[in-house]
Amino acid sequence: MNVEVFKTAVILAGGKSSRMGFDKQLLIINEVRIMEKLIHELSKEFEDIIVVTNKPEEYKTAEDGIRIISDEIKEIGPLSGIYGGLKESKSKYVYFIACDMPNVNLNYIRYIKKVLANSKANACVAKREGKVEPFNAFYSVDILPKIEKLITLNRRSISGLIDIIEPIFIEENVLKRYDYSFDMFINLNSKEDLEIYNRKNRQEENYV
């Protein structure tokens, strides 16, 4: 498999975090900042990691192989992060995850790489319970012109992007082989989500 095709991963750390009450890119679980955990895990599979953030000052001591960028186009939500990450990519396909998704599943990532390596698709995303998961997914730099068109039309939704790029969809039966509980798609959007996540972790630790 050509590593250059899958060299870059992007962590989207923008957003207003209004439901959480504080900036989600500063989230700490078990005394470890989620951003540090994401970078550490993704570094095992990707040579180039980009953090798209509205607070670049939080990453002044970024380690080698980590690039910090800010949204080129403001106030259009995560579509801007995808756009910026693809523009700065060092590979054809780019893996995207959000800063409030604490669980990285490397086996699943490797599976998607194999799927894309044997196709000409311009994206690969999961679908479960009838809904598309836009992150924990790969997008190709080839879709940049389509994103630019959406931005010009002031269409900001990622679902609108997925509708026009014809991705490969990974269905539930395959997803369950890698993560039966779908924990790799968990989003910590609120303090309640964070409390539930921490409670579950404590229960698992006690069980072990």
Was 12 annotated as part of a binding site?
A: yes
Q: Say what the pLDDT of residue 208 is.
A: 45
Was 84 annotated as part of a binding site?
A: no
Q: Say what the pLDDT of residue 132 is.
A: 96
Q: Say what the pLDDT of residue 62 is.
A: 54
Domains in the chain: boundaries: 3-207
Percent of the chain with pLDDT strictly greater than 90: 63
Sign, Cα dihedral of 33, 45, 80, 63: positive
Sign, Cα dihedral of 97, 99, 101, 106: positive
Alpha helices in the chain (DSSP H): 34-42, 78-87, 106-117, 144-152, 158-165, 172-178, 191-207
Which of these ranges, 2-6, 71-75, 76-80, 183-187, has the smallest mean pLDDT?
Answer: 2-6
Q: Say what the pLDDT of residue 1 is.
A: 47
Give the mean pLDDT of the chain: 87
User: Taking the domain 3-207, which CATH number applies?
Assistant: 3.90.550.10
Was 160 annotated as part of a binding site?
A: no
Was 100 annotated as part of a binding site?
A: yes
| Cα angle: 197, vertex 203, 207; to 5 degrees | 145
Report the pLDDT averaged over residues 140-154.
95
Q: How confident is the model at residue 178 (pLDDT cuts 50, 70, 90)?
A: very high
What would the pLDDT profile of 85-111 be if each residue is shown by its tens digit? 999 999 999 999 999 999 999 999 999
